[in-house]
Chains A and B, each alone.
Chain A
Amino acid sequence: MIPAEFEYVAPSTVEEAVQALDRAGDDAKVLAGGQSLLPVLRMRMADPGLVVDLGGIPEARGVREDGDTLVIGAMTSHHEVMRSELVRGHAELVALATRTVADPQVRHRGTFGGSLAHADPAGDLPAPVLAMDAEMVVAGPSGRRTVPAAEFFVDYFTTALDSNEVLVEVRIPKYTGWRAHYEKFNRVAQAWSVVGVAATVLVRDGAVARARVGLTNMGATPVRAHGVERALVGSPPTEEAFRRAAVHATEGTQAGSDASAEADYREHLAEVLTGRALATACG
């Protein structure tokens, strides 16, 4: 199959991209790395009149520091993110989760911001971004606004982005010195997550000082496991403490049932994988 016909523009600035989207109304799609959009277009699950390619916008690409914040451009490829010394040093959880995305070819083309804006419940990057209290910098016709990750993911494949807005960059507070692990459960290579657990922990003086845990595919949007985090803080980083904390993993989740797993199996997985994620992070 090939996509239906569409008009194509490749603006060189964020503002031009926003103007193009604004003119097109609801009839446009944003092309980032294209690793989800192109299959969707090929299978004719979408039929936009206009495709706005962000690939020619230098501002949206690359990783930089801004004081205590790590800034990842939305058009930075997964390959670039997972190899970035800045990401590995200040947001290891993001680097580890990115390594599990799809396969090498897809990671060469797919982008950090594209994955987040696509908001697939089984996508691996929303949960880490939510857990780490990231902020999304969004450009629209009236300028730029910042959306906290907790408000960005709205529903299945739905974010706080309006049809005339683009995600420019993601600002993540630095988690320097935190340990991290992304535990992903899938059935075969390159498959989507049945459930994933993103965990990053700061251990100080033999005890968990701070913890951040996010869950993939335990509802329409990523879920922050506050109960797990609260149970962990103050505990020694032991298997026993991780097991006790992991019991809280399903609090606030609304797991669905599909061809990969029934909801109750997902709940079982969330608890088991949370224990594993914490143990591996601190191991």
Chain B
Amino acid sequence: MPRITVDVDGITCTDEVQPRTLLVQYLRDQLGKVGTVVGCDTSNCGACTVHMDGHSVKSCSVLAVQADGHEVTTVEALSQDGRLHPMQQAFHDNHALQCGFCTPGMIMQALDLLAENPEPDDEQIREGLEGNLCRCTGYQNIVRAVREASQRMRAGAGPAMEHSGETPAPRTSTEQTAQQRVAGGQS
């Protein structure tokens, strides 16, 4: 089986994967990073959105082997020391979710949007989120939350924010097995 090395949320992970393993399966099943969810199975819904080298991707449409040598950031990397990321806080404050299933993908795509355009108007927010579906009809509040987050974040939005000074030093045990990682339930 191919051996891959991927930087996931600041930790270097080396694992053997089947060529057919999707990035989202690798994240969830092998690394235990279940914050990223699988929604539609047809690349439509965007619930599985993560960042790869600072750009949003649908992790159900990337093979794990394609992530070899790259940097992946999931929603699990956003909160620091129990404190929500400003984007997460804005979703919370604006009731930008009902069932919450689309939220990890919405948040990761919203961060990508702000990295491209730190001060989007409502139409640009809607266009930036067009690859993410919410079936609770929650778009109004989602747009409101992203608008508010953009005001709170301004400088240093998006992927830059993920790597701001608040990020803890990379944890060391880089070669731990997937089994240990799952058992350890690391965040």
B-side interface residues, number (CB < 8 Å): 32
Complex contact A1–B41 (CB within 8 A) = yes
Complex contact A51–B19 (CB within 8 A) = yes
Instruction: Report if B113 contacts A (CB, 8 A).
Output: yes
Instruction: Report if B121 contacts A (CB, 8 A).
Output: no
Complex contact A104–B62 (CB within 8 A) = no
A105's partner among B20, B22, B41, B46 (CB-CB below 8 A) is: B46
Complex contact B56–A42 (CB within 8 A) = no
Complex contact A5–B55 (CB within 8 A) = no
> Within 8 Å CB of B63, what residues of A?
8, 31, 34, 38, 53
Instruction: Report if A10 contacts B (CB, 8 A).
Output: yes
How many chain A residues sit at the interface, stated as a range, is: 20 to 34
- Chain A residue nearest to B19 in the complex (CB): A8
In the assembly, what is the distance between CA of A103 and CA of B16, in Å?
Answer: 31
> Within 8 Å CB of A43, what residues of B?
41-42
- Chain B residue nearest to A9 in the complex (CB): B19
Type the 1/0 row for A5-23, where 1 means its CB is closer than 8 Å to any CB of B: 1111010000000000000
Known: A1-B41, A38-B43, A55-B66. A104 touches B56 (CB 8 A): yes
> Within 8 Å CB of B184, what residues of A?
none
CB under 8 Å from chain B, chain A span 37-57: 38-39, 41-43, 51, 53, 55
What's the least CB distance linking B137 to chain A, in Å? Answer: 14
Complex contact A34–B61 (CB within 8 A) = yes
Known: A3-B20, A53-B65, A106-B131. A8 touches B2 (CB 8 A): yes
Type the 1/0 row for A51-79, where 1 means its CB is closer than 8 Å to any CB of B: 10101000000000000000000000001
Query: Can you show 13 pairs from A to B with CB atoms below 8 A apart?
Result: A1-B41, A2-B21, A3-B22, A5-B20, A7-B19, A34-B63, A34-B66, A38-B60, A39-B61, A42-B22, A53-B66, A106-B58, A108-B52
Which residues from chain A sit less than 8 Å from chain B, CB to CB? 1-8, 10, 31, 34-35, 38-39, 41-43, 51, 53, 55, 79, 102-106, 108-109, 189-190
